[in-house]
Amino acid sequence: WSVRRAELLELMQGRDSAYVYDAATIRARCASLKSLRSVSRVLYAIKANSNAEVLRQVHGAGIGIECVSRGEADHALRSIRGLAPAEILFTPNFAPRSEYQWALETGLRVTVDNLYVLREWPSLFAAREIFLRVDPGTGRGHHQHVRTGGIHSKFGVPIDQIDEAIRLAGKAGARIVGLHAHVGSGVFDVGSWADTAQQLAALLPKLPHVRAIDVGGGLGVPDRTGKPALDLEQLDARLSDLRQVLGNVELWLEPGRFVVAESGVLLARVTQTKRKGASGYVGVATGMNSLIRPALYGAHHDIHNLTRLDQPPTEVMDVVGPICETGDFLGHDRLLPPTQEGDVLLVATAGAYGAVMSSNYNLRAPAEERMI
């Protein structure tokens, strides 16, 4: 973003806040995913950022789509010209019966993650091909809220219920053609996806029709300058080691954050500053209504004063929004140059789970999105 500083400041003329996405960064991340030799298909988890222009960039790079609601799938089909329903993997969780029915009739690939749907709604699945989402038993990720394995997580069919799932699918007349698992989000252990693949591969002897194993998303992105990035080559190497075990079964990957996190920044104009004892506050025009990750997960996003990028940072400040909650902060104890009303602050690595999780809380409209 620092090389496009002038453009970003220009874009903020007459605005108080904006999410800005860099198309070239999205294309670069897509290209690195497409270069993984062990992975036959990459799906983009659109929950990370469903901006229509982002979706078109991703699909244009040869990447499919993963959706978790009818709303997401409808939006993807509307936004991307030429998107075939079969390019969408639908991975709902505790969704109503009507959504499964719609997805199957529309031709999406559907993932089942609960025996309930096979037992209670068997007629929906007659003569259908389905994916089975498996809970490998342990979750991983940057915060407890985003770890999706183990009995305390609501996702997936535990390994000890797989036999029953196979029986119920057979009884319903459904064919299990894919296995799926997603253990969590913000994972930096390069072996994680191979571990998942291995656990799913162990089930293959029971599932003669399975043609693909989807090892989920969760690829971590460093939240601050200087932290090492996930080693994609290592990840690829670990997955490639499994090729022999897998035979003709394909490996699929479905990242969200990795595709978009670093493409996006949140820009927000400084409204007021305040001192209270030892604490200093810089207030900006938008806060948790645009970016809830700091409040929800204690997530870190680097913050820079874009207006005064050349000036030395001298003061330690909390960066806060205008929302009436003490949790409304974008960053604590941030070293900034002397900052004034009207300056533009930049919140980095905000392209994933930013705009999509925004709200109108306090009836303050969240930041608008722009692609450059």
Pick 283 or 294: Cβ nearer ligand LLP? 294
What is the dihedral angle through the alpha carbons of 121, 127, 133, 134, rounded to the nearest 10 degrees?
100
Pick 218 or 283: Cβ nearer ligand LLP? 218
| Residue of 19, 87, 84, 85 lying closest to 53 (CA atoms) | 19
Query: Cβ of residue 353: shortest distance to ligand LLP, in angstroms?
Result: 3
DSSP string, 280-322: EEEEES--TTT--HHHHH-----EEESTTTTSPP-EEEEEE-S
Length in residues, the chain:
372
The tokens describing 361, both together, are: 């809380």
324 included as an active-site residue: yes
Residues that bind ligand LLP (CB under 6 A): 45, 47-48, 66, 91, 146, 182, 185-186, 216-219, 254-258, 293, 352-353
DSSP string, 326-367: TT-EEEEEEEESS--TT-EEEE-S-SSSSGGG---GGG-PPP
Pick 139 or 256: Cβ nearer ligand LLP? 256
Report the helix count and the strand count for the chain, using DSSP H and E: 13, 17
Radius of gyration of the chain (CA): 22
Query: Cβ of residue 185: shortest distance to ligand LLP, in angstroms?
Result: 3
Query: Cβ of residue 112: shortest distance to ligand LLP, in angstroms?
Result: 13
Pick 293 or 334: Cβ nearer ligand LLP? 293
Distance CA 332, CA 118 (A): 48
Pick 141 or 322: Cβ nearer ligand LLP? 141
Element (H, E) at 122: helix 122-125
Choose, from 6, 278, 324, 363, the residue flagged as catalytic.
324
The tokens describing 93, both together, are: 């969780």
Pick 109 or 269: Cβ nearer ligand LLP? 109
Exposed e or buried b per residue across 46-64, where buried means at least 16 C-beta atoms within 10 angstroms of its C-beta: bbbbbbeebbbbbbebebb
CA atoms within 13 A on the CB side of 367: 36
Known catalytic residues are: 324
